[in-house]
Chains A and B, each alone.
Chain A
């Protein structure tokens, strides 16, 4: 634990235990989403599915990066990951992104993907709101993750016909916002 780090965040008026719980729940959401996206991606096949596979893969890898980036901050603030992986799964801040019953329905898979991203957008907006002007490091981390989650949401939303995403898919490097926390 980084003692002074925790102290200054508490002094700024943040309930650190509540913040840490939120970060652990978000870390659980990222790792479980990485797992569930592995299954979704594997099922994105055929003429319709193959076109979406690439962005599902980028979102999958970036969600794993989010998990990796969150973990150090949890421990810095005096928190810890649960010892039991099953418990970790069940405290996730977002519901499981299960493969739909009809695995050939690409539209249904897209809806699962976009719902997962929307949950993540809400989660990190909340962390930003809790830490803005008070816990600069957590805010910077949450904002970086939020930037990527918003892009994921807009990619899947575009494929669902909800309107243009406004940007292009990744070219080469993944996690353009979060990579600074992974070095």
Chain B
């Protein structure tokens, strides 16, 4: 499975036709086809291209919603 640095993940921000990826607990998810991630923006609070592990803990939904989208890689958390 592809290894993403944080810098590389940031390019998958859903803007200008780029795919929208996010990281959660070390996995990278592709949310490009999700209605709720249009243009890489989720509810005006969160942006694609980021590690949302701590944010999801405060969200009004559980991590099981991520089971609906494909995993496309692993986040290299040693990267800057």
Q: Write the residues of chain A forming the contact surface with B, with a CB cutoff of 8 angstroms.
A: 18, 21-22, 25, 90-96, 122-123, 125-126, 129
Contact residues in A for B36 (Cβ distance below 8 Å): 93-95
B44 at the A interface (CB under 8 A): yes
> Known interface pairs A90-B38, A95-B35. Does A25 touch B60 (Cβ–Cβ under 8 Å)?
no
Contact residues in B for A125 (Cβ distance below 8 Å): 60
Q: Write the residues of chain B forming the contact surface with A, with a CB cutoff of 8 angstroms.
A: 35-36, 38, 43-45, 59-61
Contact residues in A for B45 (Cβ distance below 8 Å): 18, 22
Report whether B44 and A25 are in contact in the complex, using a CB–CB cutoff of 8 Å. Answer: yes
> Which residue, B38, B44, B45, B59, has most C-beta atoms of chain A within 10 A?
B44
Considering the chains assembled together, what is the distance between the CA atoms of A31 and B43 in angstroms?
Answer: 17
> Known interface pairs A90-B38, A95-B35. Does A21 touch B61 (Cβ–Cβ under 8 Å)?
no
Smallest Cβ-Cβ distance to B65: which chain A residue: A122
Considering the chains assembled together, what is the distance between the CA atoms of A90 and B35 in angstroms?
Answer: 8
Smallest Cβ-Cβ distance to A91: which chain B residue: B38
Report whether B44 and A18 are in contact in the complex, using a CB–CB cutoff of 8 Å. Answer: yes
Report whether A25 and B43 are in contact in the complex, using a CB–CB cutoff of 8 Å. Answer: yes
Contact residues in A for B43 (Cβ distance below 8 Å): 22, 25, 93, 123, 126
